[in-house]
Amino acid sequence: MATNSLRKLHVGVVDDDDNLLRSFARFLRAAGMQTTAYSSAEDFLADVRHPRFDCLVLDVQLPGMTGIDLRDQLAAEGDPAPVLFVTAHDDPRAREHAMAGRCLGYFHKTDAGSELLDAIRKSAATLPCEGNL
């Protein structure tokens, strides 16, 4: 796996499931990235001193503000960080809503990690949205 291109990328991960959050952050670290993990969209927004993220991995179903709403808010604020969605369920409406805006990909939590890494690798360029569901 070509992890060199992923070095030095700073990724933010938001998921309300602690175990999943930890495993995701660990995986991204193993791939050579730097990660910051948040349990909710509110925590993310509250962290005003966060560095510039090269990419965001957001869980769709979050308590309070959802991942998709967070993406919309960031877009409204002009935050350029590309967003990658992960979800645990197959709701076609949520998928549509996600794809309606800017997104790197819409993945299921049980999809292979290599696919997520590929999507992140392309994050440098602004590509049309790739869905995987």
Partner 1 sequence: MNWITVSWPMVAAACLTLGLIELHIGLAQRQQRAARFLFALSACAMAAACGLELALIQVDTIAHAEVLLSLLRVTIGVVLAALMAFVWSYFGAGNRWLALAFACLYLIGVVGELMPGPFNSFHTTITGLRTDEVFRGATFTMLDREFSIWYAFPYLATLTMIAFVADASIRLWRRGEHRRALLIGGSITIFLLVAGVQAALVLANKINMPYMLSWCYLAILVAMATDLSADALAATKLAEQLRESERSMDLAGAAADLGMWAWNISDGRIWATARARALFGFSAAETLSMDNFVNALHPDDRELRRRTIERALATGDDYEVEFRVPLAEDRTRWISSRGRFERGAKGELLGIRAVVLDVSARRGAEVELQRLHSQLAHASRVSMMGQLASALAHELSQPLGAILRNTEAAELFLQHDSPDLGELQEILADIRQDNKRAGDVIQRMRALLKRRDFDPRALSLGGVLDNVSRLTRNEAFTRRTQVEFDECIEPWVVMGDSVQLQQVLLNLVINAMDAVDDLPVDRRKVSVRTQHRGAGEIEVAVTDSGPGIAPQSLARLFEPFFTTKPSGLGIGLTISRTIIEAHGGRIWAESGVGEGATVRFTLPLADEAIAS
Using alpha carbons, select from 79, 86, 80, 96 the residue that is nearest to residue 14.
Answer: 86
> Taking the CA atoms of the chain, what radius of gyration do you get in angstroms?
13
85 touches partner 1 by CB under 8 A: no
4 touches partner 1 by CB under 8 A: no
Pull the structure tokens for residue 71: 């993406």
Whole-angstrom Cα distance, residue 32 to residue 48?
Answer: 25
Q: Which stretch binds partner 1 (CB under 8 A): 39-47, 48-56, 107-115, 120-128?
A: 107-115
Report how many residues bind partner 1 under the rule CB under 8 A: 28
Q: Which residues in this chain contact partner 1 in the complex, by CB under 8 A? A: 1, 3, 17, 19-20, 22-24, 26-27, 29-31, 61, 66, 86, 88-91, 93-94, 108-110, 112-114
